[in-house]
Structure 1
Amino acid sequence: MSFPFYIAKRYLRSKSSQNAVNIINFITFLVIVIGSAALFIVLSAFAGLKTFSLQFTNTFDPDLRAIPTTGKFFSISSENEKALSELEGVANYSKEIEERVYLTFREKGDLAFIKGVDENYRSVTGIDSTLYFGNWGVTEYNAVMGIGIYNSLGVPLNNYRTPMQVLAPKPGKGSFSPQSLNTKLYNDLSLVVSGVYAIEDNLDKKYVITQLHLVQELLEKDSTQVSGVNFKLNGSVSLEDTRANIKNTLGEKTIVLTRRELNGTLYKMLNTENLATYLIFTLVLIIALFNVVGAIIMMILDKQTNSKTLFALGTTVKELRKIYFVQGVLVTSLGGLIGVLIGSILIGSQLAFEWLKITPSLAYPVEYDFMNVLVVLATIVILGLISSKIASSRITKKLVAQ
């Protein structure tokens, strides 16, 4: 054990003869503990909120999705489909086509997206787990819609007598003519709602899901034209290698996006919020650790007689500075450890007992991440090193040689 560390450890455990110094040291230590605990709890809460937010998109979006490079649609041939089914790393794939349409039911109307999917869609995504009530239907003219659209239109389930109408503009080129105004400008499709899904507010107001061929006919597209292909991976090949193989199979007409890239805005927003919260609480810790500088300077003045004695016995100014530097680092590190321990207990109790709730049935989401432990401890130690260095630099030869 080095001499500066030995003396610093004794100073850490011993009390000052002046009660004011003891109070200042206790308050400084308490501030470090509370600050580090608060930072860890907030980071754990944001990690929980991030996971909670992403679970909705994770059930709706596939592992990979191929979309057209330009335009809304692209063609996928039978040769492409055969090659995709033989790709190593792909467990299953599903074709889809979607377009913005107008929904109408009993003089009520709403804009939404109609999504036509094939029979593999439910096995490629986790959409089955989002079904709120009803089912996927037994006839090809059945549809499942988001609960937001369901509430807006008030469409009863299994209403075969007066089904919901879906209107889509007819594709065409050129300008309107008097002759064209006399013809029907839109295609229509009658759908019977058999089920309702609930994910999150934006998605709940966005989609009506039905059979792929029905939407292709509504949009006057042939059976090879789709707006996307969804892929479920089996993990036997890395994601990037599988993406490259899909890209090679479908060619330059498509780009292949991961789930993270499909929700890039959401990920960026969550990461920005997490970073902003970390920086705000770190700023609070920086302000709090000014107390460490003040406490160490008070300790230097309180132990000035001891420092003079040590200097007279041959201790150098550099070693005296190191004593108070090590003391400051020990105080901040120990405070940080205790703060993280307290924060871990609180987060663990929330995970185990769910004592803090958003609603009577929904506990506030938190997540215990070891990376957050490292981030908090690293932040405390780095700030402690800086504040201890500033405070210990107050030791000068003039101070101890008088």
Structure 2
Amino acid sequence: MNFPLYIAKRYLRSKSSNNAINFITYIAIVGVILGAASLFIVLSGFAGLKDFTLQFSTIVDPDLKAETAIGKSFLLTEDEINKLDRLDDIAEYSKIIEERVFITSENKNTLAVLKGVDEHFQNVVSIDSVIDYGDWLEQKSNQIVVGWGISNSLSLGVLDFANPINVYVPKPGKGQITSTKNAFNTVKAVNVGVFFINETLNDSYIYAPIDLARELLNYESNQFTSLEFKLKEGVDEAQAKANIQTILGDKVILKNRAQLNDAIYKMLNTENLAVYLIFTLVLIIAFFNIIGSLIMMILDKKQSLGTLFKMGTTVKDIRKIFFYQGSLMSVVGGLIGLVVALILTMLQKTFSLVMITPSLPYPVNIKIENFFIVFLTISVLGIVTSKIASARITKSLVQHV
């Protein structure tokens, strides 16, 4: 039998004869419970916000995207196309031509990014789900689909043939521009739909058939700026990435969904770390109550400790008693806090107790790693504080009773 642990459990279950010490102990345990519950709830809330934010950014992002490594575009040979078509990892892929353009309608104008897509694009990403009104474009046409921001700034309607949209892009070449009339390639387009994804994409992107983009930029039939891939279910992403890279070579850089949203991921992860550190600091302050409670308990049990010492218990074992007691208080309090937090987050997911707007509940996401993070944090802080408190026990303290 572990004698110090046995005594620690007895001390933990029994009440002190001093009500003030009992009150301090209860406050310490409640502080640990609330601290653990708060940390888990906040981490779950940030996990929910992260997923909520990324669902709007990644809904039009492919599983993998091949971007040109040098220059603005690359050439795709027939042999490479045949190899990509035969690759088992790929469910579908789309050829893309993307460039910054200048668009005008009546007396209004704005800069935008024109994304020319082929007929496979709808199968690669869920673009249909973000069309707010109107329809998706048809290939072999002059139709475009614009974002909400561009639609508002240019006052664009849907199928407004009376007010055509002019899309301009500078002609490639060298030397001075002698005539503005010959400086731009231009096409007339008609808007057939408006999408809503997020503020950045809404204000900057327009989609067009790939032939329209090719005509505007004078690209060759096998010249593209990127390829977007949808992988088959269960396919290993790293292996698929390596297989595609082998086919396309060094002329492209392959990025997954996280790498395409690198800035957003870094921002969200930094915010998550900052919140974790802030709440850990609050927990550290709460654990000072554990130290105070243990020291008060040591003084209260001074007579009993002296008896144990005279019976042959070493000072080391007496220290272990209060080390175990503090650790048990922390672990038990942390587990209770986690259970409370788990119940509250489940209630939020089920009944939407807290709302951001009348129709939008605050998103939470229960992750098993957050459970272990909180439990590990509580355990480490509990062990450290218990060690600090138990170190106050000296031979002279228990000897002179």
Aligned partner of 1:249 in structure 2 is 247
Instruction: State the Cα distance separating 1:57 from its structure 2 match.
Output: 2.3
User: CA separation in 1, counterparts of 2:138 and 2:211?
Assistant: 16
The reply to whether residue 362 of structure 1 matches residue 360 of structure 2 is: yes
Would you say the 8 A contact 1:63–1:259 is kept in 2?
Answer: yes
User: CA separation in 1, counterparts of 2:80 and 2:391?
Assistant: 71
1:282-297 correspondence to structure 2 within 5 Å = 282-297=280-295
Aligned partner of 2:211 in structure 1 is 213
Instruction: Show CA shifts across 1:336-390 (max 9, x none).
Output: 0111111111100010011211111111111011111111010000000000001
Aligned partner of 2:112 in structure 1 is 112
Instruction: State the Cα distance separating 1:302 from its structure 2 match.
Output: 0.6
Instruction: State the Cα distance separating 1:160 from its structure 2 match.
Output: 1.6
SS in 2 for 1:70: coil
Number of residues paired by the alignment? Answer: 399
SS in 1 for 2:250: coil
List gaps (5 residues or longer) in structure 1.
Answer: none
The amino acid that maps onto 1:70 is I
Aligned partner of 1:170 in structure 2 is 171
Identity of aligned residues (%): 48
The reply to whether residue 25 of structure 1 matches residue 46 of structure 2 is: no
Which of 184, 187, 191 aligns to 1:186? It is 184
Aligned partner of 1:15 in structure 2 is 15
The amino acid that maps onto 2:367 is D
The amino acid that maps onto 1:315 is T
Instruction: State the Cα distance separating 1:161 from its structure 2 match.
Output: 2.3
Which of 192, 195, 198 aligns to 2:196? It is 198
Instruction: State the Cα distance separating 1:174 from its structure 2 match.
Output: 2.5
User: CA separation in 2, counterparts of 1:314 and 1:85?
Assistant: 80
Would you say the 8 A contact 2:137–2:209 is kept in 1?
Answer: no
The reply to whether residue 144 of structure 1 matches residue 145 of structure 2 is: yes
Instruction: Show CA shifts across 1:141-199 (max 9, x none).
Output: 211111111111111100122211111111111234xxx32752111111111111111
Aligned partner of 1:159 in structure 2 is 160
Instruction: State the Cα distance separating 1:138 from its structure 2 match.
Output: 5.0
Instruction: Show CA shifts across 1:102-142 (max 9, x none).
Output: 11112111111011000000101121111111111457121
The reply to whether residue 92 of structure 1 matches residue 97 of structure 2 is: no
User: CA separation in 2, counterparts of 1:287 and 1:330?
Assistant: 18
User: CA separation in 2, counterparts of 1:241 and 1:200?
Assistant: 31
Would you say the 8 A contact 2:144–2:191 is kept in 1?
Answer: yes
TM-score by length of 2: 0.97
Aligned partner of 2:332 in structure 1 is 334
Would you say the 8 A contact 1:102–1:111 is kept in 2?
Answer: yes
Instruction: State the Cα distance separating 1:325 from its structure 2 match.
Output: 0.5
Aligned partner of 2:345 in structure 1 is 347
Instruction: State the Cα distance separating 1:236 from its structure 2 match.
Output: 5.5
The reply to whether residue 35 of structure 1 matches residue 42 of structure 2 is: no
Would you say the 8 A contact 1:88–1:236 is kept in 2?
Answer: no
Which of 253, 258, 263 aligns to 1:260? It is 258
Aligned partner of 1:230 in structure 2 is 228
User: CA separation in 2, counterparts of 1:90 and 1:173?
Assistant: 40
List gaps (5 residues or longer) in structure 2.
Answer: none
User: CA separation in 1, counterparts of 2:126 and 2:78?
Assistant: 26
Aligned partner of 1:134 in structure 2 is 134
